[in-house]
Structure 1
Amino acid sequence: MAITAAVCGMLAAGPVACGGTADPGGERASAELARLRGLLREEASELPDGFSARSRDGWVPPFKAADNDCQLLFDTAGGMPSQRGRGTWVAVTYPGDRVGELAGVSLASYTPEDARLRFTRLTQALNGCRIARTSLAGRSTSLRVSGLNLDAAGADVQARRLHGRLNGYPYEIHMVFALAGHTLVSLVHAGVAGVDAERTGQIARSLIGRAAL
């Protein structure tokens, strides 16, 4: 989007690192962008112990997946341009205090019909992505996908655990996608070796609860 660079620059020092809207001149879109930014400001104050509230730009996938379903999940979680469509979005990353730990959050607002269609497509991609492998030959990168249980996170919630090796090193990613009204919530909690599912659930429940209000 044409306004992305300007928005990201203005927000670099604050709790919302990057965001935009496909309709920058519309009052409704502007109000929705302000709502999403406000959600992240609130979330920054409620992060689990060990996470920094000083955010960075949205999550960048650690590799390009060979499988299209897996790549769709990566792109959506990172708020990639091709996945924003006609929506309004914000994306940030919060660093954690464990080795390589981070929490990437993307919130996107659509019409109710478009939001439901996108969540349905993500659910299909989650079922189709069994092993996330790099598209580059000769790299020791392969993450096996399995279920991830999050207690009381909500009805329209899908969560997966990706675990294996990234460039030969043990690595784990928790991915959570949720539909809260017309807001699509995406969360990535990643790190070297083990990632605490309890911390993943805490962030997810807080995000989903705020977005649903």
Structure 2
Amino acid sequence: MTRGLLSIACALLAIGGLAGCGASGGNQVDVKEQVRLREVLNRDPRLPDGFSARAQEAWRVPFKAGDRNCRAVLNPAGGDAPQRALTAQAAASYPGRGLSEVAGVGLAHYEGAEAEWHIGDLEKAADACQLVDVGGGTELAFHQVPVHDLGDEAVAGQLLGRLNGYPYTLNVFVVREGDMLVSLVHSGMSRIDPKRTEQLARSVVAMTRA
């Protein structure tokens, strides 16, 4: 029985983005929470109009972010959340109706008060992220976006410029909801309204509470 549960846990880890049979740094995996997070993203997600309700594979950063601070802010939405005290994680993406529009969502659950420490670190990373310039026609300037009354704490920003020579916008929200981090990116080849991204973020946070 123990071996069977361990096998299930390992499979969930591989799907949800936690590498190996046990989280990084010796963290204990919360199998029940891992299952719950995947259900949140896959079972009838209640997203705003214009987004597919069918979850797809986790979002991936579409460029090589040379700045580690910028990458730190973006990675959690793709299922690569900060590892310390991480006990469960899941990620998915949802296509929108705009040109190349997509929403990427990452959910991460932590032991104790670690989520508070991590959101603080991500806020500092957002403060330090200014420009993604990796050549090849990709140059994106970052600025923070004010956000209020969303979860317990939240940090938000926008990358705006060109991706491989084409106009590109990427909005990012990271929200602490209790012992969880809820991360969202909303991107496309046309200008993306931060207010619509905030609506998306509020919808996802509400999904985690259901």
TM-score by length of 1: 0.81
Cα displacement string for residues 46-97 of structure 1 (whole angstroms, at most 9, x for unaligned residues): 21111111111111001111111012122222122x7345431000000011
* Alpha-carbon distance, 1:6 to partner: 4.2
In structure 1, the residue matched to 2:96 is 96
In structure 2, the residue matched to 1:198 is 195
Q: Which has the higher mean CA deviation after the structures are superposed, 86-95 or 68-77?
A: 68-77
Rounded to whole Å, the distance in 2 between the matches of 1:63 and 1:206 is 27
In structure 2, the residue matched to 1:29 is 30
Change (3 A) 1:3 1:62: farther
The runs of 5 or more residues in structure 2 that have no matched partner are: 1-6
2:41 aligned with 1:40, yes or no?
yes
Rounded to whole Å, the distance in 1 between the matches of 2:148 and 2:44 is 19
- Listed as ranges, the matches of 1:159-178 within 5 Å are 159-178=156-175
Q: Work out the number of aligned pairs and report it.
A: 198
Residue identity opposite 2:122 in structure 1: L
* Alpha-carbon distance, 1:34 to partner: 2.1
Change (3 A) 1:74 1:20: closer
Change (3 A) 1:75 1:4: farther
Give the match's secondary structure for 2:206.
helix
Residue identity opposite 1:31 in structure 2: K
Counterpart contact for 1:4–1:19, Cα < 8 Å: no
Rounded to whole Å, the distance in 2 between the matches of 1:88 and 1:107 is 8
In structure 1, the residue matched to 2:82 is 83
* Alpha-carbon distance, 1:188 to partner: 0.3
* Alpha-carbon distance, 1:141 to partner: 0.8
TM-score by length of 2: 0.82
From 196, 204, 207, the counterpart of 1:207: 204
From 184, 188, 194, the counterpart of 1:187: 184
Rounded to whole Å, the distance in 1 between the matches of 2:99 and 2:191 is 9
Residue identity opposite 1:168 in structure 2: G
Counterpart contact for 1:109–1:182, Cα < 8 Å: yes
Change (3 A) 1:163 1:7: same
* Alpha-carbon distance, 1:212 to partner: 5.1
Cα displacement string for residues 164-204 of structure 1 (whole angstroms, at most 9, x for unaligned residues): 01011100000000110100110000001211323211111
The runs of 5 or more residues in structure 1 that have no matched partner are: 10-17
In structure 1, the residue matched to 2:137 is 140
* Alpha-carbon distance, 1:155 to partner: 4.1
